[in-house]
Amino acid sequence: MEWFHGEVMKQGANHFGSNRFQGIVCVDCHDEGRKREQVKLKTLLSAQLRKVQADMESFAIQADDRAVKQMYYNQSKELQKFINTINPYLTE
């Protein structure tokens, strides 16, 4: 049992418990003390909006139909206006 306990602890377990009679082993590897890198949601949203705007421009360039090309171009410009308006609120 000591060997098994040592091997489990090598894997980063914080708590270890077992019930020999039922054959159950419980291992807790969650480290409450470790800080997790959090995604900066505002920055991510800003990047995603810029990507969509760039995709629309790309679709406009690739489109063969003049009406479709104009539609993507117009939507790209509208999205750029929106990005310009909301961007000051998306700084972290």
H-helix segments, 1-92: 2-10, 41-62, 66-86
Instruction: Quick: pLDDT tens for 10-40.
Output: 666 655 555 555 556 666 666 665 555 566 8
30 vs 53 pLDDT, higher one: 53
Question: Residue 64 — φ and ψ, nearest 5°?
Answer: -90, -40
β-strand pairing of 15-19 with 24-28: antiparallel
Torsion angle of C-alpha atoms 13, 3, 25, 20, degrees rounded to 10:
-150
Q: What is the pTM of this model?
A: 0.56
Percent of the chain with pLDDT over 70: 57
